[in-house]
Amino acid sequence: MSPMRPARRPRSEDFGARLSFDRGAPGRRAVDVPPWDGERTPLPDAHLLRDEVRLPELSQGGLVRYYTALSARNYGIDSGTYPLGSCTMKYNPKVDDLVASLPGFATAHPQSPPEEAQGTLRTLLELRHGLAEITGLPAVGLAPAAGAHGELAGVLMITRALEDRGELELRRRILVPDSAHGTNPATAAMAGFAVTQIPTGPDGSLDRATIEQELDETVAAVMVTVPNTLGLWEQGIEEVAELIREAGAYLYGDGANLNAIMGRVRYGDLGFDVVHLNLHKSFSTPHGGGGPGAGPVCCTQELAPYLPTPVLEEGADGLVRLVAPERSIGRLQQFHGNVGVLIRAYAYMRALGLEGLRAVSGQAVLNANYLRVLMHGHYDLPYDRPVLHEVVFSGTRQRREHGVRTYDIAKRLIDHGFHPPTVYFPLIVEEALMIEPTETEPPEAIEAFAEAMIAIAEESAEDPETLHGAPWTAPLGRLDEATAARRPVLRWQGGEDGE
Amino acid sequence: MSPMRPARRPRSEDFGARLSFDRGAPGRRAVDVPPWDGERTPLPDAHLLRDEVRLPELSQGGLVRYYTALSARNYGIDSGTYPLGSCTMKYNPKVDDLVASLPGFATAHPQSPPEEAQGTLRTLLELRHGLAEITGLPAVGLAPAAGAHGELAGVLMITRALEDRGELELRRRILVPDSAHGTNPATAAMAGFAVTQIPTGPDGSLDRATIEQELDETVAAVMVTVPNTLGLWEQGIEEVAELIREAGAYLYGDGANLNAIMGRVRYGDLGFDVVHLNLHKSFSTPHGGGGPGAGPVCCTQELAPYLPTPVLEEGADGLVRLVAPERSIGRLQQFHGNVGVLIRAYAYMRALGLEGLRAVSGQAVLNANYLRVLMHGHYDLPYDRPVLHEVVFSGTRQRREHGVRTYDIAKRLIDHGFHPPTVYFPLIVEEALMIEPTETEPPEAIEAFAEAMIAIAEESAEDPETLHGAPWTAPLGRLDEATAARRPVLRWQGGEDGE
Amino acid sequence: MLERVGVEDLAALFADLPAAYRDPVIELPPQLTEPELIALLEQRAAGNADPGRPNFLGAGAYRRSIPSIAAHLTSRSEFVTAYTPYQPEISQGTLQTAFEYQSVVCELSGMDVSNTGLYDVASATAEACLLAARVTKRNAVALLEPIHPGTADVVRTYAYGAGIRVDLVTSGDETTGEHACLVAQQPDFLGAIADLEPLAEAAHAAGALFVAVADPFALGLLRAPGDAGADIVTGEGRDLAGAPAYGGPSVGLFAARQQYLRQMPGRIVGRTKELEAPPDGGEPRTGYVLTLQAREQFIRRERATSNVSTAQALIALAFTVTVQALGPRGLREAAELCYQRAHAAAARVAALPGYEAPERGPWFQEFLVRGPVPAATLSAELAARGITAGLDVSDRAEPEAREALLFAVTEATPDAHVAALIEALAEIGAQA
Amino acid sequence: MLERVGVEDLAALFADLPAAYRDPVIELPPQLTEPELIALLEQRAAGNADPGRPNFLGAGAYRRSIPSIAAHLTSRSEFVTAYTPYQPEISQGTLQTAFEYQSVVCELSGMDVSNTGLYDVASATAEACLLAARVTKRNAVALLEPIHPGTADVVRTYAYGAGIRVDLVTSGDETTGEHACLVAQQPDFLGAIADLEPLAEAAHAAGALFVAVADPFALGLLRAPGDAGADIVTGEGRDLAGAPAYGGPSVGLFAARQQYLRQMPGRIVGRTKELEAPPDGGEPRTGYVLTLQAREQFIRRERATSNVSTAQALIALAFTVTVQALGPRGLREAAELCYQRAHAAAARVAALPGYEAPERGPWFQEFLVRGPVPAATLSAELAARGITAGLDVSDRAEPEAREALLFAVTEATPDAHVAALIEALAEIGAQA
Ligand SMILES: Cc1ncc(COP(=O)(O)O)c(C=O)c1O
Ligand SMILES: Cc1ncc(COP(=O)(O)O)c(C=O)c1O
């Protein structure tokens, strides 16, 4: 019967063609609004008021079915292995969500007097202590909403410090490795600096010679990612730090990859001046399909006066308060940061303790290396050495020999039940496959992933067509991204009906 | 490419073959237990203690992925139309779950003194008032955990009443229509009565002649479902009630189908002595894949003294208490009933009010009739008349002409994206398709369902093979139920490994 | 729609209803919008005791530490909003989780087979008595004291309908040839750990079945009743599923020896295979189905083993997730922690001048407390101090229960609550 | 695994780390098990104000009635545990909901295009200023008072890096040829409803863009800024997503006219089709993808329109569900209810002897209160009575703000709280 069966599958609905706006029917409602039985105050003048607003009209059941069906068209860490390099997609303990949503935390008003928010403030204070201990940097600002926001904070702090030193006019350059995440140069530019790219040496670390020659009195800072985006330790970073200090510049650390070294080495000890962390990666707060996150900045005493507003201060009266550092770069958000995320991160830190955090980095690194050896030989490994949190393979061989691109390999992984790794980053590795299993993937999952990758390597030799057309089993096939960009359709524009 | 594509679908995992017991690995844990740092009391004598217990060992992430994947292999009312006849699968407002889980309700201990449970007790008291109003029966017992439990309560109440009348030895029979739900005769038997079946007349109501001739001094009660399982009103039930009273027997009402008549007619007014309700149907508490539910019994003042323990009583001091009716049949549960479900039902009742409840029955009946006319002519309709909450078609034509059974039609509906209706019940309709859309399905869903049924009627003529083999698109194909019963495997028996 | 249906208004659809009784006057409170509803029920919930109030009640419901994932997974709407799994191809979630439940219950109880759960422990125990009566063709059952009065009462209710006599006995040796079964609770109603083996022997010697009513949490530590000779094991799963919610919903565990399988009440899930290989090739895959339905009401009708239909599937799921999250070591550790904390608390109470904690042999999580004042007074004095005392059992026959309250302390009872109790007791003692 | 990796212990994997700094001493509190963790954080949460305490703070965060389905749907783990949707074939849930969000934001704001959301309203407004500077090639911006000080401060922070001057102006006419944009808040920081059209005209007359910072909830009632001539609309979505959580996470709405599309910061989702027809035949199906990525940091690097990467997707989803659950009529009704309740409360306050509620024209949900005692005293007196007063704005320049507190009353402020406030104010007034 098999051959006939596809015919027996009724045409699958074009689910994406109908938005909530195209469902339901006029007059339907998901919730009612309480009536106003008091005296009616006349509304403001008509020219201040709006005409009809176009929004979907669905019953509650209709709306719930629509979004529930949408959720089924998503893949999360609870669905399976999600080895996005640089993104540290680890399992998120559910208890963290639970405690963050306790009514006492959830209903706290951001303008509350400190007496009415001590529970939150003390929790943040202890998180701050923990982050200072873990990074070896004494001062911490919790305001940044994400990693890039933390980068902006850090670079602006350096800017203001240079201003106070009277060297801001002179120091207009920031050195950024060619392996850096895009947010690094983008941030430098947002802060008004020129970006000079530093090449990566054959050992996967910064090319020392270039640094030495570029390091002059026009350099404001060097932004380094440790461990770097190749999953490798930045060799001799502590000496580089020394050079930078001598040159009168600052060493900025991108700490998004903290997961590999938690509890094993500290940025402060190595000579970093300021570092941002991605708590939504290393500290396991769920990523939510693109946030919210939290990107605290940790820095030296020298830079502490420049931290973004607010910072925490414990008064003699035992009350924790929010204050503005004297030379603060100012606020980064209207209020105090992504507090809900910070509480999750605190819960995560308390559940693990030092022991646990060291176990995390240990297992994360072990898993990455286990994957490295399992896949070894089947894909090119440009930097063929033990790695830390992630390993970056290259699809060049598959491309050269079989015309199969990393893009195809990624799509084929979907058919094998996995979320693909990060691809085409870092830019210095062609056809890059950047794989970060994280510590929460069990050995059998890493083995299954490696087997899938090996099977795909074989498929790329035997049946490249299958890879070019993949995925075959996803809710949708490959999408036309070119047309999407050429003729952008970015919002509902009115359409048919029926819930 | 199409023909090749199935080959491109990697072999799908036999998910069901590996239970949680077969996943994970020794030493993994999903949660830790706090250490005991106090003084250790010696454990009881070894012969009182157990040896190892065999349970799965999974990381928290592993366990969460396993059960999340399982949930994706389920179909609920939030997934789509679920027209199970007699089961009233309507959308469940989420707010009902929210309020039932408020800590004050959730943490109340069943042995609490009344002073510490007034919030719950007053809520139950008001629910009781509402149910008495809706059924027109003044006394209500909330203890039964489900419909069948309510039936047992009702029949035992009748038993005790007869005992007090000294007629229990004499009245050993209960009359039950041949269209009754299986729980009715089963309940009568559990209470020690003999069951006499009453045939259904051509109009879909009880055969009056048979009743009149069977009604004698050996009859304890007549159990009638109103509206009945054909979705029809029981013609002349009020006269039958009169006959039953004259015969000295009791009229028991199965109120599981209340949804059709809420706010429009009341059991008490019609002469019923005792009725059970299915709050998990009519009052929209979610069914949970097979409970929990709640099956309150409502009865006349005459039967009130026999209600199951406990019932609610409001004291002169304004306190609501749980008490035992003087001639109570006793307890049905160790404690006070499925309180969490009762609170949901209360919330549902309050959200709707009388207006809303009448709108529910109105729309439920309109929807069932809409479906009836849409499907009319495509399937046999043994009782071809306007219906109330549900309509019972028959697949006899398809079976006779094309050798397609109702079973096949049901399975094919799955391919069309719907949960099948109830099949082969009521027993008096051969190849029965018992369809209850409920009030929460929008017109377009009812139309889509009818179209699918009509398409299937055509398929059964053109391509019966497709129906015999259906479903083709579900997580699994048809299962071997015969072997399951012949060689029962009812528990994990040890197996392979790997999370 | 009205038009298509051929009526001009909704009323016309109800024409069959007797006109005399149609559209009666019904008094219900007015509709509430969602915000109003939430406000009302928050206010109601606040009418119960503060969830933070120290509470030492047990007597059938115990405070447990429930892993957060239990609520998380159980709230998946695919589980919550499904009906009983009549269509296995799209109900594997409910079916496979039920199979997990059956497996867990068998492991804990030491039994061969389990159903998917009944209403609660008491109704499950009543069903066990009915089963025993069916297979032994006897019409009396013996319940061993101390047994939960609620359980005994429910057994009487079911027995009344079935015409079965219920005898309360104080020793297994009182089991006679008239008895279909001997029922014993583990731990018993006053908290003591029973030695089940001699009881099983006594029952079997009389040709009766032995039914153990066991706390599944305690079975993390205590001998599996199956090993001790039980023929049927019932129990309450609610405490491991979530908060007590004033006593329900619950889930009644019901497991038995293989030979009673076809006499069991309730749903049973079995493992099987697809009838055909899947479209994409390969072997037929594994699936789960409701099985042995010939026992059930909807097929057997008046000859069914029970009338049960809807039970407590969602609570059974939460119970399963909790037990599996704890795992073999976690469950043992949690039970031991409960035992240690309860004994430490009891020792502190007994050390207070004027107080004693009379023991009836080894016990698990509940202990009797007799104070310098009558039980009722002690309870009232504690209430006045914002503490809910253990259950007053001073009306019971057991000598140890004289003027005693039954206190429960578990792994989840906060230290601060125990400290508050000790302080209050000392204060009351000093004033007595 | 260690063996397979070829090391004999974990330490060996960290050999690259400089020995001198390896394994430092780190002081962290000990590990907590889940029950201990929950107990600790419940205690912490209790260290905040009781959630039931009457609280009249607004000033950027407002209490809203959130439909229960918002939390229900947003907690689906497929949404919660996904990353930014880099693989559209298995990320349609995140992508299509983001497209719904963009559509809702465009409808509310009257703009042509929206991104998927930025960090919060203030950072979104700062990005708007940077965009304006880029397209006008000017390096000053004008912020119209009264504007939220937090918003102004964040604009300054971003402007500092970009070398942009920030002028606070008190009238639209102060916009000059130096200004890249005029930024006005709706309703303004002191609660008044601004007439945006003349402001837009003033800005455009000066060749500047007009940026409206609008409360999306108020837009259920108030004119869409797009109709009034706004070029960019920013706003805060947090209040319609859920509880304030001490101010974050939030979501910054950012919508603009079509011509600024390629200058927009942040992610944008576009609608497209499959490249090929599906295996089972039929037309290529509709899908959603991240688009116009050439603007973004990971491609453009130092020439990107912004450095933003991770934003606030999950909050944007909750915002979308709330707005869609309310629907067109519900949103209007809720906004009107808010307006009515706020005005009724203000009238009751103003009617109290010794109190006035100075108005600055029509207003929405926030009103100024001046009492018989200084603002600080009034606030303290209310606090002493268990009520959290409105924000003290007595230090502001606006004459109406002199010795005034800024009270917020919304559709979700319980009547009982307003009653308690009136009573307390009367009492304080009587004692003054
Ligand atoms: C190495 C690195 N740096 C910076 C970032 C930016 O962090 P975020 O996305 O939280 O802004 C990321 C992640 O995107 C990253 O992987
Ligand atoms: C008509 C009828 N009566 C009785 C019952 C039994 O109710 P429950 O399943 O709650 O025991 C049902 C549903 O199963 C029913 O549909």
Torsions phi, psi for A58 (to 5 deg): -125, 150
Pocket test for ligand 1, best of A278, A279, A342, A425 (most atoms within 8 A of CB): A278
pLDDT at A497 over 90: no
3-state secondary structure chain A: CHHHHHHHCCCCCCHHHCCHHHCECCCCCCCCCCCCCCCCCCCCCHHHECCCCCCCECCHHHHHHHHHHHHCCECCCCCCCCCECCCCCCCCCHHHHHHHCCHHHHCCCCCCCHHHEHHHHHHHHHHHHHHHHHHCCCEEECCCCCHHHHHHHHHHHHHHHHHHHCCCCCCCEEEEECCCCCHHHHHHHHCCCEEEEECECCCCCECHHHHHHHCCCCEEEEEEECCCCCCCCCCCHHHHHHHHHHCCCEEEEEECCHHHCCCCCCHHHHCCCEEEECHHHHCCCCCCCCCCCCCCEEECCCCHHHCCECEEEECCCCCEEEECCCCCCCECCCCCCCHHHHHHHHHHHHHHHHHHHHHHHHHHHHHHHHHHHHHECCEECCCCCCCCCCEEEECHHHHHHHCCCHHHHHHHHHHCCCCCCEECCCCCCCCEEEECCCCCCCHHHHHHHHHHHHHHHHHHHHCHHHHHHCCCCCCCCCECHHHHHHCCCCCCCCCCCCC
**Is B470 close to ligand 2, i.e. is its CB under 6 Å away?**
no
The mean pLDDT value of chain D amounts to: 97
Question: Average pLDDT for residues D200-229, to the nearest whole number?
Answer: 98
CB neighbour class for A154 (10 Å; exposed up to 12, middle 13-18, buried from 19): buried
Question: Average pLDDT for residues C83-103, to the nearest whole number?
Answer: 98
d(CA A96, CA A343) in angstroms, rounded, equals 8
Whether complex ipTM tops 0.95 = yes
pLDDT at B296 over 70: yes
pLDDT of residue B335: 98
CB neighbour class for B86 (10 Å; exposed up to 12, middle 13-18, buried from 19): buried
Question: What is the residue with the minimal CA distance to atom 4 of ligand 1?
Answer: A147
Q: Dihedral (C-alpha) A392, A394, A395, A397: value to the nearest 10 degrees?
A: -150
**Is A89 close to ligand 1, i.e. is its CB under 6 Å away?**
no
d(CA B388, CA D155) in angstroms, rounded, equals 64
Question: Average pLDDT for residues B240-259, to the nearest whole number?
Answer: 98
**Cβ–Cβ under 8 Å, residues A278 and A119:** no
Question: Average pLDDT for residues B190-218, to the nearest whole number?
Answer: 96
Per-residue DSSP letter, B65: H
Question: Which residues of chain C lie closer than 8 angstroms to B19, CB-CB?
Answer: 96, 99-100, 103
pLDDT of residue B347: 98
Among C32, C34, C66, C322, the strongest candidate for a mutation testing the A interface, having the largest count of A CBs within 10 A, is: C34
Question: What is the residue with the minimal CA distance to atom 13 of ligand 1?
Answer: A87
For B316-347, what is each residue's pLDDT tens digit? 999 999 999 999 999 999 999 999 999 999 99
Q: Closest CB to A130: pick one of D28, D268, D383.
A: D28
Question: Average pLDDT for residues A239-250, to the nearest whole number?
Answer: 97
pLDDT of residue B358: 97
**Confidence band, pLDDT 50/70/90 cuts, at residue A7:** low
Tokens standing for residue B261: 């008549």
- Distance from the Cα of B60 to chain A's closest Cα (Å) equals 8
| Residue % of chain A over a pLDDT of 70 | 97
Neighbours of chain B (3+ CB pairs under 8 A): A, C, D
**Centre of ligand 1 from the C-alpha of residue B258, in Å:** 57
pLDDT at D250 over 60: yes
Among C23, C66, C89, the strongest candidate for a mutation testing the B interface, having the largest count of B CBs within 10 A, is: C89
Atom of ligand 2 nearest to the CA of B254: 3
Indicate yes or no: CB of A329 within 8 angstroms of CB of D157: yes
pLDDT of residue B189: 96
pLDDT of residue A495: 54
Question: Which residues of chain A lie closer than 8 angstroms to D85, CB-CB?
Answer: 289-290
For C307-350, what is each residue's pLDDT tens digit? 999 999 999 999 999 999 999 999 999 999 999 999 999 999 99
Pocket test for ligand 1, best of D119, D309, D314 (most atoms within 8 A of CB): D309
**Confidence band, pLDDT 50/70/90 cuts, at residue B495:** low
pLDDT of residue A1: 32
**Confidence band, pLDDT 50/70/90 cuts, at residue A6:** very low
Question: Average pLDDT for residues D368-381, to the nearest whole number?
Answer: 98
A389 alpha carbon, closest ligand:
1
Question: Which residues of chain C lie closer than 8 angstroms to B416, CB-CB?
Answer: none
B276 alpha carbon, closest ligand:
2
**Is A295 close to ligand 1, i.e. is its CB under 6 Å away?**
yes
pLDDT at B177 over 90: yes
**Is B228 close to ligand 2, i.e. is its CB under 6 Å away?**
no
Tell whether B11 is within 8 A of chain A (Cβ): no
pLDDT at A11 over 80: no
For B4-48, what is each residue's pLDDT tens digit? 444 577 767 899 999 999 999 999 999 999 999 999 999 999 999
d(CA D314, CA A340) in angstroms, rounded, equals 12
**Confidence band, pLDDT 50/70/90 cuts, at residue A13:** confident
The mean pLDDT value of chain A amounts to: 95
d(CA D382, CA D418) in angstroms, rounded, equals 12
**Is A148 close to ligand 1, i.e. is its CB under 6 Å away?**
yes
Indicate yes or no: CB of B270 within 8 angstroms of CB of C343: no
For C117-158, what is each residue's pLDDT tens digit? 999 999 999 999 999 999 999 999 999 999 999 999 999 999
**Cβ–Cβ under 8 Å, residues A347 and D41:** yes
| Residue % of chain C over a pLDDT of 90 | 96
pLDDT of residue B7: 53
pLDDT of residue C39: 97
**Cβ–Cβ under 8 Å, residues C82 and C90:** no
Atom of ligand 1 nearest to the CA of A280: 10
Question: Which residues of chain D lie closer than 8 angstroms to C412, CB-CB?
Answer: 35
The mean pLDDT value of chain B amounts to: 95
pLDDT at D203 over 50: yes
pLDDT at C193 over 90: yes
Question: Average pLDDT for residues D408-422, to the nearest whole number?
Answer: 98
**Confidence band, pLDDT 50/70/90 cuts, at residue A496:** very low
Among C227, C309, C317, the strongest candidate for a mutation testing the B interface, having the largest count of B CBs within 10 A, is: C309
pLDDT of residue A366: 98
B151 alpha carbon, closest ligand:
2
Question: Average pLDDT for residues D344-362, to the nearest whole number?
Answer: 97
| Residue % of chain A over a pLDDT of 90 | 95
Question: Average pLDDT for residues D317-338, to the nearest whole number?
Answer: 98
**Centre of ligand 2 from the C-alpha of residue B282, in Å:** 11
pTM value is 0.97
Indicate yes or no: CB of D328 within 8 angstroms of CB of A57: yes
pLDDT of residue D296: 84
Indicate yes or no: CB of D34 within 8 angstroms of CB of C412: no
Q: Closest CB to C157: pick one of B74, B118, B331.
A: B331
Mean pLDDT is lowest, of C133-142, C182-191, C279-288, for C279-288
d(CA D120, CA D238) in angstroms, rounded, equals 8
Question: Average pLDDT for residues A489-496, to the nearest whole number?
Answer: 82
Atom of ligand 2 nearest to the CA of B87: 16
For A456-474, what is each residue's pLDDT tens digit? 999 999 999 999 999 999 9
Tell whether C81 is within 8 A of chain D (Cβ): no
Question: Average pLDDT for residues D354-359, to the nearest whole number?
Answer: 97
